[in-house]
Structure 1
Amino acid sequence: MDKFAQKRYLILIGVGIIAILLMICIGLTYGEMKLSLIDVISTLFHTSNDPSYTVVIFQFRLPRIVLGLLIGISLGIAGTVVQSLTRNPLADPGILGINAGAGMFIVLFMFLLRDQIDLTGNLAIMLMPLFGIAGGLLSALLIFLLAKDQNGLNPQRLILVGIAITTGFSAITLYASLKMDPQDFEKAASWLSGSLNSANWLFVISLLPWMMILLPWLLYQTRLLDVMRLGDHTLLSLGIPLRQKRTILMFISVGLVASGVAVSGSIGFVGLIAPHMATQLVGLAHRRALPLSGVIGALLVLIADFIGRTLFSPAQLPVGIVLSIIGAPYFVWLLSRRRKV
């Protein structure tokens, strides 16, 4: 049975990677300026003599695709970890308020330091993930404190607390953004909707270190994550330092989500949809579910961004809005399914 599951997992990973490569090819060729695959390949290998192709691919399309790929992987894997830690299949970094906390701190960063730092400069872009992580951690801390009861973390209360914190932080974010001048408000509004329109290589560079440090650590902890699905009393009887391990794993997950939010804004529902699809396909074992969640998350972001960029051209619909249109009905369907069960 395990050999069959492993074979199924490898096939699914292979299909997912092929689908991602296909979306990358489509994303590089289609847009306001349509390019042939030969034009794209010759430009990527610097054999094309057309400077406009170089600008379109290397300054606009490729960094946007790479950033969407990285953010999708981060959100998919972080969503799987959050669902395992909370033992709640409806948990999602966006629904729980982690996105809202990270977003609030970044908008406050843009509002309070707009006169001291160039918000489009290298220093601001490198500092934003730090502020995002601080906001995400504050949100996660409040959620865990308020969602606990005498038996530990209450999964039902967790969703309600997350909604409350999201509402409160979103109100503060909106107030700060309304106090900005029109130019900064436009930037903040575009960022809050979850957009890859401003993607550039500096955003990619600022996100990569966090992923290179945090992702391997989570993938190394798959056995611990499997055990975390058990009840608190069982974990304590096994001698596992539950509070310490859960805090560290949540910190890593928040770091992944918040660093992505810092460069793209709040992109919701990836951390809900990708883990569900992965566990339905390969089961609950994290050594298979985590990588597949990352692949599905990346594919979801790339597809949503392509739809938002091309379907409404010349206008561009932010990827966060496209995913919300997809994710909201999916969330309602999950709620109705759990009620029947």
Structure 2
Amino acid sequence: MSTQRRTLVTVIVLLLLLAVIFFISVNSGLVRLTPVETVHTLLGQGTPDARLILFDIRLPRIVIALLVGAGFAVAGAIMQGVSRNALADTGLLGINAGAGLAIVLYVVFGYGKLQYAPVVALPAVAFVGAALAALFVFLLALKDGQLAPVRLVLVGIATGAGISAAMLFFTYRMNAYNYTFVKIWLTGSIWGTNWLYVQAALLWVAVLVPLAVYKGYRINLLTLGDPIATGLGVAVQRERLVLMAVAVGLAGACVAVAGSIGFVGLIAPHLARRLFPADYRLLLPGAALLGAILVLTADTIGRTMAQPVEIPVGVVVAAVGAPYFLYLLIRKP
């Protein structure tokens, strides 16, 4: 089977898998909707209660899960390509934590009540925090003008831990409602989302993911090393900054609407490399698709495994991602 045909078959299989998980997620919850009720409701023929459950509660949550999974996955793939480090991920590098701290500060000092904060402003605020954290980590990780892979991960983990401690300090200044919400949100949760959150995340993901795919060929060249990329006409520093800004923007937007869901940006790109050719123009869409499947599956499991209690999606993903990270760390020479 040719490479193109194999890639096409892989995409079709993943889309079918995503459709199955989507249908299962729509029918999962405390209030069960039969498949017939779901189809009728989607066609505009359902009862008022079914329409409320489907269109106002479940569909926004599902769409957010898809957007966040795709965004984190593409951000992680970009970071791995730009830094030439297979362990790079916005969560492990402290970038997600920086975005989270910016939102916590925004809530503490900008608004007394979280529910009054303009949702569409949250991704921009998170982008600032993520960008500052990324700048700090990359500057400290430089050694003789080059990014040291192991040093990058260690600095990122230490930075993330320090930022998390700062977030914990500022949460004590919140009222009871905000404190409870932020604690759940920081673990990685898409509970309580609505169409405003979808709009806020969609704008960033719909712009930055296609831009990343458009820049896929440049990432291919950057993975060959700076001297070769420069010889092939790539403005290395400029392209690296643009791509890092794209990754930071995606991470910030995803953290703003769903909290810090770690390991998606680590697992999805690695799975994509096993299923797709080594071309970032194909790897990035493949990683986005796999990330969407991973987060939607994790959220569905978290909603149904311990009903009526919900397990945050970040906890479910971490249960898989942490062992996988240790495997990669041990396996890496």
Q: Secondary structure at the match of 2:10?
A: helix
Letter in 2 for 1:215: V
Matched, 1:163 2:157: yes
Matched, 1:67 2:95: no
CA distance in structure 1 between the aligned counterparts of 2:245 and 2:96, rounded to whole angstroms: 14
Tell me how far 1:151 sits from its aligned partner. 4.2
Q: Secondary structure at the match of 1:95?
A: coil
Once the two structures are superposed, residues 13-69 of structure 1 have per-residue CA deviations (whole angstroms, 9 ceiling, x without a partner) of 111111111111101112111111110111111112x21111111111111001100
Tell me how far 1:111 sits from its aligned partner. 1.0
CA distance in structure 1 between the aligned counterparts of 2:45 and 2:262, rounded to whole angstroms: 39
- Of the three residues 175, 183, 206, the one matched with 2:200 is 206
Partner residue in 1 for 2:325: 331
Partner residue in 2 for 1:5: 3
Percent of aligned pairs sharing the same letter: 40
2:221, 2:228 within 8 Å by CA — same for their partners in 1? Answer: no
2:185, 2:258 within 8 Å by CA — same for their partners in 1? Answer: yes
CA distance in structure 1 between the aligned counterparts of 2:106 and 2:70, rounded to whole angstroms: 26
Partner residue in 1 for 2:95: 98
Q: Secondary structure at the match of 2:30?
A: coil
Partner residue in 1 for 2:37: 39
2:75, 2:265 within 8 Å by CA — same for their partners in 1? Answer: yes
**Counterparts of residues 128-207 of structure 1 (less than 5 Å):** 128-207=122-201
CA distance in structure 1 between the aligned counterparts of 2:200 and 2:209, rounded to whole angstroms: 15
Matched, 1:26 2:21: no
Partner residue in 1 for 2:217: 223
Tell me how far 1:188 sits from its aligned partner. 0.8
Partner residue in 1 for 2:115: 120
Moved more, 207-216 or 58-67: 207-216
Partner residue in 2 for 1:242: 236
Once the two structures are superposed, residues 56-115 of structure 1 have per-residue CA deviations (whole angstroms, 9 ceiling, x without a partner) of 111111110011001111111111111000100011110011100000001111111223
**Counterparts of residues 251-330 of structure 1 (less than 5 Å):** 251-330=245-324
Tell me how far 1:233 sits from its aligned partner. 2.6
Partner residue in 2 for 1:15: 13
CA distance in structure 2 between the aligned counterparts of 1:161 and 1:66, rounded to whole angstroms: 33
CA distance in structure 2 between the aligned counterparts of 1:207 and 1:165, rounded to whole angstroms: 25
Once the two structures are superposed, residues 194-246 of structure 1 have per-residue CA deviations (whole angstroms, 9 ceiling, x without a partner) of 10111111000111111122111111111101001022233333342211110
Matched, 1:51 2:48: yes
2:114, 2:178 within 8 Å by CA — same for their partners in 1? Answer: no
2:88, 2:266 within 8 Å by CA — same for their partners in 1? Answer: yes
Q: Secondary structure at the match of 2:115?
A: coil
Tell me how far 1:183 sits from its aligned partner. 1.4
CA distance in structure 2 between the aligned counterparts of 1:212 and 1:183, rounded to whole angstroms: 32
1:119, 1:125 within 8 Å by CA — same for their partners in 2? Answer: no
Once the two structures are superposed, residues 138-176 of structure 1 have per-residue CA deviations (whole angstroms, 9 ceiling, x without a partner) of 011111211112141111211111011101111111101
Moved more, 55-64 or 277-286: 277-286
Tell me how far 1:119 sits from its aligned partner. 2.5
Once the two structures are superposed, residues 313-336 of structure 1 have per-residue CA deviations (whole angstroms, 9 ceiling, x without a partner) of 100000001101110011111112
Could you list the runs of 5+ residues in structure 2 that have no partner in the other structure? none
CA distance in structure 1 between the aligned counterparts of 2:276 and 2:239, rounded to whole angstroms: 25
Q: Secondary structure at the match of 2:261?
A: coil
Letter in 2 for 1:305: D
